[in-house]
Amino acid sequence: MGSIKVIPNELGKFITFEGGEGAGKSTQIKLLSKFLKTEGITTVLTREPGGSSGGEDIRRLLVTGAIDRWDPMAETLLHMAARRSHLVGLIEPALQEGKWVLCDRFADSTEAYQGYGQGLNLGFISELRRNILGKIEPELTFLLDISVDEGLTRATARGNIARYEQMDRSIHEKIRLGFLKIASENKRRIVVIDASQSITAIEAEIKQKTVQRFGLN
């Protein structure tokens, strides 16, 4: 095991995983956590929507029910409320304790899904983001990019199809292009990963980029 990288009272790191349905985020976030633990780093794995008691309550409203249960505006406000609860209740305290927070989805997903995918004004979403997050932003984001067809096939194979997975294919195409647009505008923070590769290949690439970014090993 490597030497301890987290010094008491030193802020932790915030890493997010983004991508469309079936991209493999949940698998890769666990693998990165396992690697970081071998480096002596304490990690907190979390997700959005959710991550806190209030966030998980709101998650159930968002991922279940009919596709048209919420319009894009209501959906965005619910996501932002869940995010604020998550930020205050888990993310900020963990970072203050020097832990590394690995989050399955974060604010980029709202921009991609409700903005690019469903047509809500991007300026409105950006303003909400600034007010909800303050100075908290991920230091590194992995965008797992995969074709819509392959991603939805994977998601369907898992069973328990969530509300977002039932959306029209054309919306998922817009979401994918939205994520890539966000990545092109945030090249220092966002690393695009070809999620059609094997799990092992993706794991190795994510590990390499993390080591490079934070000077591990």
Alpha carbon distance 134, 107 (integer Å): 12
Domain membership of residue 5 (yes or no) is no
Whole-number pLDDT of residue 201: 98
Domain range spanning residue 191? Answer: 20-214
Whole-number pLDDT of residue 161: 66
Instruction: Split the chain (217 residues) into runs of 10 and give each run's mean pLDDT.
Output: 44 96 93 96 96 92 85 95 96 97 97 96 96 94 95 79 76 95 97 97 98 91
Any idea what the CATH number is for the domain that residue 51 is in? 3.40.50.300
Domain membership of residue 38 (yes or no) is yes
Task: Take residue 51 and report the two structure tokens written for it.
Answer: 């991550």
Q: Evaluate whether 117 touches 172 at the Cβ level (below 8 Å).
A: yes
Count of structural domains within the chain: 1
Q: Which long-range contacts (CB under 8 A, 24 or more apart) does 151-159 make?
A: 151/19, 151/20, 151/21, 151/22, 151/23, 151/195, 152/21, 152/22, 153/22, 154/21, 154/22, 154/24, 155/21, 155/22, 156/22, 158/22
What is the CB neighbour count within 10 angstroms for residue 30? 15
Domain membership of residue 3 (yes or no) is no
Sheet holding 14-19, edge to edge: 43-47, 100-104, 14-19, 140-145, 190-194
Crossing angle of helices 122-133/72-86, nearest 10°?
20
Residues 6+ apart with CB under 8 A from 35: 207, 210
The β-bridge partners of 209 are none
Domain membership of residue 10 (yes or no) is no
Whole-number pLDDT of residue 7: 39
Residue linked to tokens 């939205």: 178
What is the CB neighbour count within 10 angstroms for residue 55? 23
Whole-number pLDDT of residue 2: 40
Domain membership of residue 95 (yes or no) is yes
Q: What is the pLDDT of residues 62-94, one digit of tens each?
A: 988 788 889 999 999 999 999 999 999 999 999
Domain membership of residue 207 (yes or no) is yes
Domain membership of residue 34 (yes or no) is yes
Whole-number pLDDT of residue 158: 76
Alpha carbon distance 111, 108 (integer Å): 5
Domain membership of residue 2 (yes or no) is no
Nearest to 207 by CA among 25, 35, 61: 35
